[in-house]
């Protein structure tokens, strides 16, 4: 089991844009870490660095004290699941076939009965059994988002990175996905996710990191990070916080 992820002094530029400017954090197994911050703050970029999809210009990511750039791709694929913010074109793949691609790190040559059973079990748990034979391009935005989550779970990861996992979901599935995320963390997984909904971040996180323009503005427990002055300053709008219900409301 992965015990700890440490991110140290990450700097990453896209041409002239400084997307990450000295970001450090650490997260332990059983913890949910949420990354919050305005559009363009660097949240997705940070997840991609942790997943080794992007190579930083400075800094290092350690999994249990080992630099990820020393790990084999297959080891990373086995340990880390990633749910992207959006999916690139996938042709006419069915939901079942796409979720099966999530088992790739575990499959030798062709999927076994065990792989098939795993995929069906996950589809069932995430309410997608009826969609197994549907083509991805025929799905609604929320259905597709759940399919991407199912694919990541199919790899049985020890660390899971979610990029705005609730952004396309209706109220019921927002809550179901947040409950699923809590249950994954209760099983000892490390969960790191980018979130826009501050109330969701307040309720589900053990730890929050707030980014703005690629810099860490605040890090700590939800109560430490989510204060109205800081949120108003970073997002440029007034908010009120109802602490007893863990609710954050923008005022307009």
Ligand X SMILES: Nc1ncnc2c1ncn2[C@@H]1O[C@H](COP(=O)(O)OP(=O)(O)OP(=O)(O)O)[C@@H](O)[C@H]1O
Q: Report how far residue 32's alpha carbon sits from residue 20's, in angstroms, rounded to the nearest whole number.
A: 21
Q: From the CB of 119, what's the least distance to ligand X, in Å?
A: 29
Among 29, 34, 44, 51, binds Mg ion (CB under 5 A): 44
Residue 139 is encoded by which pair of tokens? 């799905």
Among 7, 42, 181, 201, binds ligand X (CB under 6 A): 42
Q: CB under 5 A: which stretch of 64-72, 77-85, 104-112, 168-176 binds Mg ion?
A: 77-85
Is the Cβ–Cβ distance between 177 and 197 less than 8 Å? no
Q: From the CB of 45, what's the least distance to ligand X, in Å?
A: 3
Residue with tokens 């790191």: 192
Which one, 126 or 193, has the nearer CB to ligand X? 193
Q: Is 45 in the site for Mg ion (CB under 5 A)?
A: no
Residue 147 is encoded by which pair of tokens? 């399919």
DSSP string, 30-68: T-EEEEE-STTSSHHHHHHHHTTSS--SEEEEEETTEEG
Instruction: Spell out, one character per residue from 166 to 195, where the chain touches Mg ion: x when CB under 5 A holds, - when not.
Output: ------------------------------
Which one, 29 or 200, has the nearer CB to ligand X? 200
Q: CB under 6 A: which stretch of 32-40, 99-107, 126-134, 229-237 binds ligand X?
A: 32-40
Residue 51 binds what, of Mg ion, ligand X, none (CB under 5 to 8 Å, by partner type)? none
Is the Cβ–Cβ distance between 178 and 172 less than 8 Å? no
Q: Report how far residue 91's alpha carbon sits from residue 145's, in angstroms, rounded to the nearest whole number.
A: 16
Site for Mg ion in 219-238 (CB under 5 A): none
Which one, 48 or 103, has the nearer CB to Mg ion? 48
Which one, 20 or 181, has the nearer CB to ligand X? 20
Q: Report how far residue 242's alpha carbon sits from residue 252's, in angstroms, rounded to the nearest whole number.
A: 16
Residues binding Mg ion: number (CB under 5 A) = 3
Q: Report how far residue 40's alpha carbon sits from residue 8's, in angstroms, rounded to the nearest whole number.
A: 21
| CA proximity to 76, closest of 162, 8, 159 | 159
Q: Report how far residue 20's alpha carbon sits from residue 251's, in angstroms, rounded to the nearest whole number.
A: 29
Instruction: Spell out, one character per residue from 67 to 106, where the chain touches ligand X: x when CB under 6 A holds, - when not.
Output: ------------------x---------------------
Q: Is 19 in the site for ligand X (CB under 6 A)?
A: yes
Q: Report how far residue 69's alpha carbon sits from residue 58's, in angstroms, rounded to the nearest whole number.
A: 13
Q: Report how far residue 122's alpha carbon sits from residue 150's, in angstroms, rounded to the nearest whole number.
A: 6
Residues at the contact surface with ligand X, assessed by CB under 6 A: 14, 17, 19, 37, 39-45, 85, 194
Contacting residues toward Mg ion, per CB under 5 A: 43-44, 85
């Amino acid at each position: 089991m992965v015990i700890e992820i440490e991110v140290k002094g990450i700097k990453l530029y896209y041409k002239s844009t400084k997307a990450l400017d000295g970001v450090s954090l650490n997260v332990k197994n059983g913890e949910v870490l949420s990354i919050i911050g305005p559009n363009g703050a660097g949240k997705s970029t940070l997840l991609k660095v942790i997943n080794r999809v992007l190579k930083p210009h400075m800094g290092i990511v350690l999994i249990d004290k080992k630099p990820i750039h020393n790990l084999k791709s297959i080891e990373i694929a086995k340990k880390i699941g990633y749910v992207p913010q959006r999916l690139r074109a996938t042709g006419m793949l069915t939901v079942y076939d796409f979720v099966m691609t999530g088992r790739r790190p575990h499959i030798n040559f062709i999927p076994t009965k065990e792989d098939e059973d795993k995929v069906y079990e996950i589809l069932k748990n995430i309410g997608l059994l009826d969609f197994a034979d549907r083509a991805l391009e025929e799905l609604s935005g929320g259905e597709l988002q759940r399919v991407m989550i199912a694919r990541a779970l199919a790899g049985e990861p020890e660390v899971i990175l979610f990029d705005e996992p609730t952004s396309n979901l209706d109220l019921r599935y927002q809550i179901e996905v947040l409950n699923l995320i809590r249950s994954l963390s209760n099983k000892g997984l490390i969960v790191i996710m980018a979130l826009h909904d501050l109330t969701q971040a307040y309720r589900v996180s053990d730890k929050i990191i707030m980014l703005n323009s690629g810099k860490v503005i605040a890090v700590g427990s939800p109560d430490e990070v989510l204060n109205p002055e800081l949120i108003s300053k970073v997002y440029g709008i007034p908010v009120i916080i109802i602490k007893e219900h863990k609710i954050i409301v923008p005022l307009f």
